[in-house]
Structure 1
Amino acid sequence: MKRRFAVASVSLAVVLGCGTLPAAAADSTPTVTAAAAPDVDVNKVRAHLNELSAIAARNGGNRRSTGQGYRDSVAYVKGKLQAAGYTVTEQPCTSGCTSGAGPNLIAEWPKGDANTVYMFGAHLDGVSAGPGMNDNGSGSAALLENALTLAQQNPDMRNRVRFAWWTDEEQGLNGSDFYVRALSSTERAKIKAYYNFDMVASTNGGYFINHITSAAAAPMKAYWDSLGLQPEENTEGAGRSDDYPFEQYGIPTSGYAMGASARKTSAQAAKWGGTSGSAYDPCYHRSCDTLTNINTTGLDRASDGIAYTVWQRAVNTGTGGTCDTTGAVGNGGFESGTSPWTGNTATIGAHAGQAPHGGTRFAWLGGNGSTSTESISQTVTVPSGCTRASLAYWLHIDTDESGSRAYDRFTVRAGGTTLATLSNVDAGSGYVQRSVDLSAYAGQTVTLTFTATEDYTLQTGFLLDDVSLRNG
């Protein structure tokens, strides 16, 4: 992970301390069932780390982007990928990178829809001070074994998967920034999400997900939720790793991390084990970031979560199920009373003063002009045969607010994950059909919740109608 050298008001850099994660957390079989993702062998991941360590030892003890240690790391990863059947490209960083920095390494599995790309990346370079086993041998090795596992399994693909190992991250996210800048707008549009893995084996670590409530993060969170890990938002890593250049171009991002130099809180130690008040990684950017600075349990969980996400996003599950979404959402037009909706069901009815999208009834959330929160929910099963599924709904936002500030908000959640947020700023003259992606929940039963939250004055009404689950 790149150190943040200057921060406007709050420093995100603190130093990582050693501790022991609870042995009780031996991985159980995940309850998530949407895709039969393989178990990635953590011993093979560690074998890649052994090779990266040996490369550093032969090259002055590090794998910095401008040194032979980095170039040898590229050669190692490239050789493995080519042997597995990947289309592999070394991309020289010709602008913005440190003078003498080695290339990015891009590997694409040549199957699936080339116009729908899911990208997974990790920086392969380290700092000068040490071999960089956690930062970022851990993410690089986990990614490599996932790529090799995908090739070995050779499943039927519906979308394209692209892996990347970035140069010159430690000097300013330079390799990934160059890559995204060099893409045409057409090629950028093909990348539906980018997933980043930077420091996924911190010895006193926590379980952090980038943009944890986003749609991109849904499969990553679902997997770690299935292990009972109670992951948290990766606030420490915001803007500090290779997902940031993708964000800057509007590409959805997520990823796993276990923490760098920030210190573990007492609440985190209570649920994850380890030492409160100590840094997540005691050897962050230090010479002791060696093979002894690896938390194998965390590395295993991250590696398997990556595989789960790859399978969710790009692999045909082969379950043999169908994708009949008819009736999956009960009473989606609100014409048959309130059941099976729960929550503030008094919001459902044939309200005077506003019109439905269809029929005679709709749900009128908010519109109170005072501090309030109103929600309606129902539990829906997304058929296992749905490789693509979306929740569609019609929404009219009527407001007395003005300006570009979001005072009143409307959210759509699947379980604990927020998939969409709208506000008074999005108000218009009539109903607009909107949708959120539920593909990650295929084969699962999930509670869908619509919530309106208003501040203390000036009403915003969120009129909801004709909710349905769709194939595609």
Structure 2
Amino acid sequence: MNLSAHRRALVVAGAALVGLLAGAVPAATAEDAVAAAPDIPVANVKQHLTDLQSIASANGGNRAHGRTGYRASLDFVKAKLDAAGYTTTVQQFTSSGATGYNLIADWPGGDPNQVVMAGSHLDSVTSGPGINDNGSGSAAILETALAVARTGYQPAKHLRFGWWGAEELGLVGSKYYVNNLPAAERAKISGYLNFDMIGSPNPGYFVYDDDPAIEKTFKDHFAGLGVPTEIETEGDGRSDHASFKNAGIPVGGLFTGASRTKTSAQVQKWGGTATAFDRCYHSSCDTTANISDTALDRNSDAIAHAVWTLTGTTTPPTGTVFENTADVSIPDNGAAVTSSVNVTGITGNAPSSLPVAVNIVHTYIGDLQVQLVAPDGTAYTLKAYGTGGSADNINTTYTVNASSEAANGTWLLRVQDNAAIDTGYINSFRLTFP
């Protein structure tokens, strides 16, 4: 095992232990530090699926690698992203004697050293138009990308989307993309989110169990809807997240089931019938009629929730600023340290959306747990240990629901390094009250 993989294993394995060690102070829920994502209109996602169906119908009934329907699908997605202000790149590769294409779309801004990426494969099998597999994932991340543009979202981390070619031939496009990234660029990807088949007509709600923070982000969203989830096992390692996972990049994603039969217990949990999750898997009947609108809607909103949650926000706060710019060294694999600001002259409680600007210089942020501690001792987790992977530095404005806290008093930024080797320091910590 190389050093990077070994360190990542330590990060994941140690997360539960840190939770026990940090238990002296009650921690607020993660939702208190999450920027709100917009609702993704399912009608818009379905329109993208209708357009992909039309492309397949006009090109021999499919959108497979090496066929005209695939390139037409890519051109369709690219045109929408270009018009929305994305920087798009078409990457070429060769597979089975035919030219394949990946489409990469970067949203301007955000920390280039911390990249959150969402992706889906755009190709179908040759036997059908591939509307659930995988027009559903492709359309949902397209509409999420367009929502980023519509809202003028300014994420703290750099946001990137990818549509992969030749997944159906063995994850060819995503492997090509990852393998051709320089090591330094791969290290900048703090998380990859994969969406393959998210509108199955007899759906389950499955969450990948790879990166703990990404998994929790999705589970929390569905728990808020009252929708139970299960760990995804049917397609584990069979979709494009495997290309990223094998390169040591934290991954996660969603899935609604393929050819496996829904069990009676799952029928009791989710409804539907004890038949295949998708009876048209890899078949000619995988058309726009082969979609659960409910599953597509829920999963599209979950994608947006994850994108907003995992990228943060850099919208400049306005109001009264309390800041500490003194450097505080963070001991390597040592005790927690704090930076403090003394808030005075503010009437009543803190706001429900308190901006917390954090600037930490560190060579491996996956080691760090970062919390805001209110004057009464309540801790709000801004960044959990085990998240962020091998990326350098944190320069993010978190939003915390601190409305139950008295505004005046001493607020702390508490940081602990929970693994050996890498070092750093708190550079600055700022609270802004309206």
Return the TM-score normalized by structure 2.
0.69
Q: Aligned pair 1:207/2:191, yes or no? A: no
| Deviation of 1:220 (Å) | 1.9
SS in 1 for 2:98: coil
Contact conserved, 1:118 with 1:192, CA < 8 A, in 2? yes
Which residue number in structure 2 is paired with residue 167 of structure 1? 165
| Deviation of 1:239 (Å) | 0.6
Which residue number in structure 2 is paired with residue 443 of structure 1? 400
What are the superposed Cα offsets for residues 345-401 of structure 1, whole Å, 9 maximum, x if unpaired?
xxxxxxxxxxx979xxxxxxxxxxxxxxxxxxxxxxx985346695369xxxxxxxx
1:314 partner letter: T
Which residue number in structure 2 is paired with residue 82 of structure 1? 82
Q: Aligned pair 1:152/2:150, yes or no? A: yes
The structure-2 alpha-carbon separation of the partners of 1:261 and 1:320, relative to structure 1 and needing over 3 Å to count, comes to same
SS in 1 for 2:69: helix
Contact conserved, 2:100 with 2:173, CA < 8 A, in 1? no
Which of 231-240 and 206-215 deviates more?
206-215
What are the superposed Cα offsets for residues 75-132 of structure 1, whole Å, 9 maximum, x if unpaired?
10011011111100100014xx332142100000011111110000000000011110
The structure-2 alpha-carbon separation of the partners of 1:249 and 1:307, relative to structure 1 and needing over 3 Å to count, comes to same
Which residue number in structure 1 is paired with residue 307 of structure 2? 310
Of 186, 189, 192, 2:190 maps to: 192
The structure-2 alpha-carbon separation of the partners of 1:420 and 1:120, relative to structure 1 and needing over 3 Å to count, comes to closer
Of 108, 111, 114, 1:110 maps to: 108
The structure-2 alpha-carbon separation of the partners of 1:420 and 1:66, relative to structure 1 and needing over 3 Å to count, comes to same
Distance 2:322 2:257 in 1: 42
Q: Considering only CA atoms, is the larger Rg found in Structure 1 or Structure 2?
A: 1
Output aligned runs, 1:183-332, within 5 Å.
Answer: 183-211=181-209, 214-276=212-274, 278-316=275-313
Distance 2:313 2:335 in 1: 35
Percent identical pairs in the alignment equals 46
Show structure 2 runs of 5+ residues with no match: 1-30, 325-333, 337-351, 361-367, 372-379, 388-393, 403-412, 417-425, 430-434
Which of 177-186 and 299-308 deviates more?
299-308
Contact conserved, 1:323 with 1:384, CA < 8 A, in 2? no
Return the TM-score normalized by structure 1.
0.64
Contact conserved, 2:355 with 2:397, CA < 8 A, in 1? no
Distance 2:46 2:354 in 1: 34
The structure-2 alpha-carbon separation of the partners of 1:387 and 1:142, relative to structure 1 and needing over 3 Å to count, comes to farther
Question: What is the aligned residue count?
Answer: 333
Distance 1:260 1:194 in 2: 22
Output aligned runs, 1:290-439, within 5 Å.
Answer: 290-316=287-313, 384-386=354-356, 391=369
Distance 1:214 1:289 in 2: 33
| Deviation of 1:187 (Å) | 0.4
The structure-2 alpha-carbon separation of the partners of 1:319 and 1:311, relative to structure 1 and needing over 3 Å to count, comes to farther
| Deviation of 1:324 (Å) | 9.4
SS in 2 for 1:260: coil
Distance 2:357 2:256 in 1: 30
SS in 2 for 1:195: strand
Distance 2:207 2:69 in 1: 30
| Deviation of 1:325 (Å) | 13
1:171 partner letter: L
Distance 1:176 1:323 in 2: 44
SS in 1 for 2:239: coil
The structure-2 alpha-carbon separation of the partners of 1:86 and 1:228, relative to structure 1 and needing over 3 Å to count, comes to same
Which residue number in structure 2 is paired with residue 44 of structure 1? 44
The structure-2 alpha-carbon separation of the partners of 1:187 and 1:222, relative to structure 1 and needing over 3 Å to count, comes to same
What is the aligned-residue RMSD (CA, Å)?
3.5
SS in 1 for 2:253: strand
| Deviation of 1:280 (Å) | 0.8
Distance 1:315 1:419 in 2: 16
Distance 2:291 2:321 in 1: 42
1:269 partner letter: V
Which residue number in structure 2 is paired with residue 449 of structure 1? none
Distance 2:137 2:298 in 1: 12
| Deviation of 1:315 (Å) | 3.7
| Deviation of 1:217 (Å) | 2.2
